[in-house]
Amino acid sequence: QVQLVESGGGLVPPGGSLRLSCAASGFTFSNNAMSWYRQAPGKEREFVATITGGGFTNYAVSVKGRFTISRDNAKNTLYLQMNSLKPEDTAVYYCNRLYSRNYWGQGTQVTVSS
């Protein structure tokens, strides 16, 4: 029932920007805090950013000041604006609910390289 479809990934040079989108369905989007996570090769999935239903945000130290999480409740869509990208940002990026994460989508690949 829950569906999470990430998109917007791609190949960008260091210092570049990218905007990711997450189309959500199967639950009441506006009532749920939402988060972005990422997983690099050989590493476990890690937290990137969270936005509450009311619009309050929190970020991992590694991305603070460079990434911005936002949401459009009318479209059931979550966004992640990524600026000043670094090679260490390379990973598959996933979206999910903060408090109920039994289902994961396919993610979207972000590669930061020259």
Residues 91-101: tens digit of each pLDDT:
999 999 999 99
Residues 6+ apart with CB under 8 A from 11: 111, 113
Instruction: Assign 106 a pLDDT band (cuts: 50, 70, 90).
Output: very high
- Sheet with 67-72, side-by-side order of all strands: 3-7, 18-25, 77-82, 67-72
pLDDT number for residue 76: 98
pLDDT number for residue 83: 98
- Structural element, H or E, at residue 94: strand 91-97
pLDDT number for residue 20: 98
pLDDT number for residue 45: 97
Per-residue pLDDT tens over the stretch 26-51: 999 999 999 999 999 999 999 999 99
Per-residue pLDDT tens over the stretch 46-67: 999 999 998 999 999 999 999 9
Give the pair of three-digit tokens for residue 54.
């009311």
Give the burial class of 96: count Cβ atoms within 10 A of its Cβ; 0-12 exposed, 13-18 middle, 19 or more buried: buried
